[in-house]
Amino acid sequence: MTAVTPVHTDPPTDLWPAPYARGAVDATVTVPGSKSVTNRALVLAALASEPGWLRRPLRSRDTLLMAEALRTLGVRIEETVSSSSSGAGAPGSSGEAWRIIPSPLRGPAAVDVGNAGTVMRFLPPVAALADGPVRFDGDPRSHERPLHGVIDALRALGARVDDEGRGALPMTVHGAGGLDGGTVEIDASSSSQFVSALLLSAPRFNQGVEVRHVGGRLPSLPHIRMTVDMLRAVGAQVDEPEHGGEPNVWRVASSALRGRDLVVEPDLSNAQPFLAAALVTGGRVTVPDWPERTTQPGDELRRIFTEMGGSCELTAAGLTFTGTGRIHGIDVDLGEVGELTPGIAAVAALADSPSTLRGVAHLRLHETDRLAALTKEINELGGDVTETEDGLHIRPRPLHGGVFHTYHDHRMATAGAIIGLAVEGVEIEDVATTAKTLPDFPGMWTEMLGA
């Protein structure tokens, strides 16, 4: 799968003037629920042997695509609003609760994955358990994102998949009402979601599954830990490398899954731009309900942004991050937390010393080629960014205003907004793409600034 270099040939439309901060930010920002937790919980609830509840789920494009896809396969998802649920007022979560009622999975069906990696990768194994064919398709960019790890694994486990040799969308999984399972080797070096996809459905396989990763460095390990923790919470038996198991081998036994009543944590990766605002402006931002213990990669922001010049305090009320008015460069391996790279790159472009971001070659295969996109967009504002084999080297330079293109990538949009806090005249193309995981980002951003 070759990387796609971002290009823009048409005049930009739908430009959003990124607000410029004329003083230190001082705000409390309630962040909606985690996309990663919400979509994993939806899959596990759909495969359970009894109904479950999902409270304060994220309502965004990616999670609504997942919910609608499961409904298409026969799962009942009932949405209610609870006035007693905490966190009311957070866009995308409010006081909502979803009741998930499992039903026999059925085909034929057609699933729209949009450009959601969790939907396009987590649901083909679910579709193999359905009774009938399930066709998967999505946005044009989804056709360029790798799926070979899931497709090859399903075939090795006995499923029939038609993809015309692309290793990508569109494709059809011919569900046979079940899957034997067993041992399978995959190369998940381009996406940890290949591993999570197989583990999530494995309890419903007749023999469970043993997944052996045989490729290069496995990125985003915290997301696999999240998958394992959530499987165990609904009664699955999982052996993993971190608890005495073989390196790069995960085993899930066949078993029934319990329904669960789960309150979704705030999305810590989506908290990134708001914490960055405190760092960039020398201000203070509090994010309520920040968990004391979590598998979310966004929790690493506490360490990374502290090294870049801020300080943080975690209390029962949440996380308060305070900037000092100075931003320092950083040399950091982001291989386990790659989704944080765009925001860190934006902050690094405003620092007082160079930065090197390493371990994120796999970002070339995300919503866009994020390394090429960040290099191009920051440099067009006067920056000095170069791509390396597995990341970026950023030498801060005085920046100027201009159009910051997003390539339909939500994290590019929030990265541009971070730069706009310190650089007048930055305009974000298609800021609405943030609705993929963070509904009403523009409203939350201007409210944080007191506008």
Which residues touch 202 (CB under 8 Å, ≥6 apart)? 181, 208, 209, 211, 236, 252, 254
CB 279 within 8 A of CB 421: no
Q: What percent of the chain has pLDDT over 70?
A: 93
What does the block give as tokens for 323? 């900037």
State residue 275's pLDDT score: 98
Each residue of 369-415: pLDDT tens digit?
Answer: 999 999 999 999 999 999 999 999 999 999 999 999 999 999 999 99
Peptide bond into 354 cis (omega under 30): no
Residue 385, CA distances (Å) to 92, 123, 192, 313, 337 in order: 34, 37, 27, 32, 20
Give the least confident one: 77-91, 133-147, 371-385: 77-91
Rg (CA), the chain: 21
Each residue of 226-281: pLDDT tens digit?
Answer: 999 999 999 999 999 876 668 899 999 999 999 999 999 999 999 999 999 999 99
pTM: 0.90
Q: Does the pLDDT at position 7 exceed 70?
A: no
Active site residue 307: no
Distance CA 144, CA 139 (A): 10
Distance CA 279, CA 48 (A): 43
Q: Does the pLDDT at position 85 exceed 60?
A: no
Each residue of 155-197: pLDDT tens digit?
Answer: 999 999 999 999 999 999 999 999 999 999 999 998 999 999 9
Q: Does the pLDDT at position 87 exceed 80?
A: no
Distance CA 153, CA 175 (A): 15
* pLDDT (average), residues 103-107: 96
Task: State the chain's mean pLDDT as an integer.
Answer: 93
State residue 82's pLDDT score: 59
Q: Which of 265, 336, 339, 377 is catalytic?
A: 339
Give me the amino acid identity at 128. A
How does residue 94 score in pLDDT terms, banded at 50, 70 and 90? low
State residue 336's pLDDT score: 94
Each residue of 317-356: pLDDT tens digit?
Answer: 899 999 998 999 999 999 999 999 999 999 999 999 999 9
Q: What percent of the chain has pLDDT over 90?
A: 87
Residue 55, CA distances (Å) to 28, 79, 102, 250, 268 in order: 22, 10, 17, 29, 17
